[in-house]
Amino acid sequence: MRRIRITVAYDGTEFHGWQVQPGLSTIQGWLEKAIAEIEGAPVHVHGSGRTDAGVHALGQVAAFTLENPIPVDNLRKAINRLLPKAIRVLDTTEVTSEFHPRFNSKQKTYEYRIWRAEICPPMRRLYVYHYPYPLDVGLMEQLAPLFEGEHDFSAFAAADEKDALGASKVRKIYLSKLWHDKHEVVFHVCGSGFLKHMVRMMVGALVEAGKGNLSREELLARLAPGFEGKAGPAMPASGLTLLSVEY
């Protein structure tokens, strides 16, 4: 048996997220369907994590096991021929049987983009959150680094079926930076791992601060253990892209 690691890019607009769901079009579902056709048997594809419906990726990492001896470059071409054009396998590499894209990952980097001009270009609308209203972007830039370090992100997580397991919601953020680029506000965050809707809620808290609804002290309180309630609204999925996964 061979263990294959792949890097996948996708436009998440028309998909119901990464994870297989009965009767719905998902990234994992399409990959498993394509690879199973090549293998001639069912194949399970493990991802580095689950992206939500509408979220995009430039560097998602996944892995699977198969017996087919096809060379990795030909395997990449064969998979892409069977996938929708909105999903592309960028590279394929043979790895050791122990490799797991989720458990072996060391950090992930996400990007969120907000379009600030009155009119959002049609070609950008699926990849940004359009917000043409007043925002104190300078304050948002100052507050973004407060996420760096190790914090309890319970207030920045949506309900998840895994909550019943009582797993820790402490995560370590290595970089949290926001800046203004012409008509866009860009937020980059790199961390050890992320909870469901975590990045979108981090951006939501910064937007609330930019609106004047959230102070520095109030943001810090949301990062403290025991905070009751949620930090802020989860911003729309369209503005979020998984940039890379590091090992």
The span from the CA of 153 to the CA of 227, in Å, is: 10
Check 11, 52, 91, 181 and give the catalytic one.
52
Which strand (E) or helix (H) includes residue 185? Answer: strand 184-191
d(CA 15, CA 25): 5
DSSP state for residue 161 in the 8-state scheme = G
1-to-5, 61, 191 alpha-carbon distances in Å: 13, 20, 33
How many Cβ atoms sit within 10 Å of the Cβ of residue 56?
23
Residue 241 β-bridge partners: 56, 111
Among this protein's residues, is 11 annotated catalytic? no
Give the span between the Cα atoms of 109 and 176, in whole angstroms. Answer: 10
The residues assigned a catalytic role are 52
